[in-house]
């Protein structure tokens, strides 16, 4: 009788542990999917450092062109 009770306790314990492990595994998979979606959305919505530097350089070049045009205009007026 003692061995039968021990088998029931072990079976019940392993059932609870395996159910808990399966539940945690499913939750981990769900979180991985959500994290991957979030990473994709962040990559889609934000720019990289290289893109920012390229855009800033274009703006600076245009400002330098305007500055040189203003200098030439000021020289003509004087």
Nearest Cα neighbor of 49 from 38, 57, 60, 59 is: 57
Q: What is the pLDDT of residues 38-62, one digit of tens each?
A: 888 887 878 889 999 999 999 999 9
Q: Mapping DSSP to helix (H, G, I), strand (E, B) and coil, where does residue 78 land?
A: coil
SS3 6: helix
Which pLDDT band, with edges at 50, 70 and 90, does 71 fall under? Answer: very high
The answer to whether residue 73 scores a pLDDT higher than 80 is: yes
Using a cut of 0.75, tell me whether the model's pTM lies above it: no
Q: What is the pLDDT of residue 41?
A: 85
Q: Which two tokens stand for residue 43?
A: 């990559």
């Amino acid at each position: 009788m003692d061995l039968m009770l021990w088998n029931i306790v072990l079976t019940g314990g392993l059932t609870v542990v395996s159910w808990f492990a399966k539940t945690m595994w499913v939750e981990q998979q769900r979180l991985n999917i959500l994290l991957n979606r979030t990473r994709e959305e962040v990559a889609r919505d934000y720019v990289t450092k290289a893109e920012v530097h390229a855009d800033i350089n274009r703006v600076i070049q245009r400002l330098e062109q305007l500055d040189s045009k203003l200098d030439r205009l000021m020289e003509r007026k004087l």
